[in-house]
Structure 1
Amino acid sequence: MPSSSSEGAMTPPVADAVSGNWVDRFAPLRVRPYLRLARLDRPIGSWLLLLPCWWSTALAAIADDAPYPDPRLLVLFAIGAVAMRGAGCTWNDILDRKIDQQVARTRNRPVASGAVSVPAAFAFLVAQALIGLAVLLSLPHFAIITGLASLGVVAIYPLMKRVTSVPQLILGIAFSWGALMGWASVMRTITDPALLLFAGCVLWVFAYDTIYAHQDKEDDAIAGVRSTALLFGRGTALVVALCYTLVVVLFGIALLSVPSGPFAVMGLIGFALHLAGQVRRLDIDDGARCLAVFKSNRDAGLILFAGLALDTLVPNTLAPLLP
């Protein structure tokens, strides 16, 4: 790994990093800028990329009458999510380094601040992409083809804020691809339940990233960057509520089409209640509140995954006890 300058290594963490995170506490100074570049000090993005993969894997396990979601796939998707989220963030920071310098929340990002040079960032991008490729090649052939189809969307997303007011829609497509990957890995095809899950995930990402974008709306306007936060303004809560409602409806239809059992339904209900709570808590004029609401989507997603996983685990656990 190319080394950064000692001055760059001492660059303070970005504004939305968790105080006292493991990178700032334990990582050697030389590697901290790279860990920050991969967002390993802020794992929420990896969680949000991973959850659609896990949902899809669990939903496919229900459809396939499997005793549990494939643990090998769950682990592979976890590794792949961390690697590809890091690669995507590195690519984003290379392209956005000039814009990041104009935004208070992002001006300390490693490339924008000079802690990591552009050539070093490219080398780091390649290293992370190779890990992601190794994970992809460990999947069935149909899933490999499905995964490769996402690369174009991933590559163009960082540029979208320059040309459209809805870059969150492109992010939604990129971050929701896992809803197809889990199903493709288990079923070796893409059918209606996976497509319904994918459509719901796109709306979920669109909504939560709109919330996230409200942290930067003033700086974005100055820098000439577009976002749904600027587009929707005071109507954001209504748009988020509508998107979240459609997410629950689409997920519900996906569960019915499998069909799933009571634990999956309870997971969806818990997920829906969590989303409703986000809308109630949202204050677009409070950046810290927006960040907290955004981050809470990990918990919402884990509630849904727990319900889907229990739907396979519990019936198979109880089966030997039933007459």
Structure 2
Amino acid sequence: MTLDFLPANLQTKLSAYYRLTRLDRPIGSLLVLWPTLWALWLAGDGIPAIGNLVVFVLGVFMMRSAGCAINDFADRKVDGHVKRTKARPLATGEIKPAEAVLLFLGLCLASFLMVVFFTNTLTLYLSFGGLVLAFIYPFMKRYTHLPQLFLGAAFSWAIPMAWAAEANEVTRLTWLLFTANLLWTVAYDTLYAMVDRDDDLKIGVKSTAILFGEADRLIVGILQALTVLILAMVGVQSDLGTFYYLGLLGMAVLFVYQQHLARFREREPCFKAFLNNNWAGAAVFAGLFLDLLL
């Protein structure tokens, strides 16, 4: 559907908001969505409540969009100096900083109200942690070489929230799944940071790609191996079967492929390796879904 019936200036503004929230590039939302679905299916023993499924699918997309808005607000003075981000709406002036902050607050409020009205008290309490992580992550790259660790925590926080909504508790298994996803996020976001490493060094932005240096691929590989290992532990503790482990095997094969793509540390192949993680998350969910269904 086109928006040709709207005034040209309004079309331009809506297009800028569309790009600000990355709705044109849903990879970030998908990378949050897959582990959220892992948690819902495990906590619900293969049959999660439809209401929880709707709340968390919508919540993932809304909070990821909110995160993009506050991230671009934090990076508004540096994005113009980075090849990959110089066309972002705040960097070009299409959207004002105050508009991005208001959008962030509005999306957070909408997500919070869904939790208030459609989940339980434990999920509500956990949601405050998610709000804090969503806000502080974008600023961490100025103070630490481990912003990917904070992103991992932010991206993984939907796991205890989804588990709490479905089971009204969080367990050791919840936090094991959280840990696996945290390590996976640091791995794939390091691949993402490798794309911008040269630009980040020039402007003084920190990342794990810079911290790891020549050991970047090795450390990413270790993190990927630990991710598969911990997810295998989740499978053992949940008494999962063949389909789940086939899904894990699929993830492991894709990790090897990502290492191959990033072997020369070139921008486009590293970005392609990052994008490939969508299929790694989908492989695990497909195995989990089939295992619990059959």
TM-score of the superposition, structure 2-length normalised?
0.92
2:52 aligned partner: 73
Select the residue among 265, 269, 279 that pairs with 1:289: 269
2:41 pairs with 1:61: no
One-letter amino acid of the structure 1 residue matched with residue 85 of structure 2: T
Q: After alignment, is 35-44 or 92-101 more displaced? A: 92-101
Q: Give distance in 2, aligned partners of 1:165 and 1:283.
A: 22
- Which residues of 2 match residues 237-248 of structure 1 at below 5 A? 237-248=217-228
Select the residue among 184, 190, 194 that pairs with 1:214: 194
Identity of aligned residues (%): 38
2:180 aligned partner: 200
RMSD: 1.8
TM-score of the superposition, structure 1-length normalised?
0.84
Q: How far is 1:108 from its partner? A: 1.4
Q: Give distance in 2, aligned partners of 1:56 and 1:242.
A: 24
8 Å CA contact 1:101, 1:107 repeated in 2 = yes
Q: Give distance in 1, aligned partners of 2:49 and 2:236.
A: 21
Specify which structure has the higher proportion of helix. Answer: 2
Unaligned runs of 5+ in 2: 1-7
Q: Give distance in 1, aligned partners of 2:167 and 2:246.
A: 24
8 Å CA contact 2:157, 2:178 repeated in 1 = yes
Q: Give distance in 2, aligned partners of 1:111 and 1:216.
A: 18
1:12 aligned partner: none
Q: How far is 1:51 from its partner? A: 1.5
2:253 aligned partner: 273
Q: Give distance in 2, aligned partners of 1:284 and 1:123.
A: 41
Select the residue among 161, 169, 178 that pairs with 1:181: 161
Q: How many residue pairs align between the two structures? A: 287
Q: After alignment, is 250-259 or 143-152 more displaced? A: 143-152
One-letter amino acid of the structure 2 residue matched with residue 135 of structure 1: M
8 Å CA contact 1:282, 1:290 repeated in 2 = yes
Select the residue among 97, 103, 107 that pairs with 1:124: 103
Select the residue among 212, 237, 252 that pairs with 1:257: 237
2:3 aligned partner: none
Select the residue among 135, 153, 159 that pairs with 2:139: 159
- Which residues of 2 match residues 78-89 of structure 1 at below 5 A? 78-89=57-68
Q: Give distance in 1, aligned partners of 2:209 and 2:263.
A: 12
Q: Give distance in 1, aligned partners of 2:280 and 2:223.
A: 15
Unaligned runs of 5+ in 1: 1-5, 10-26, 315-323
1:311 aligned partner: 291
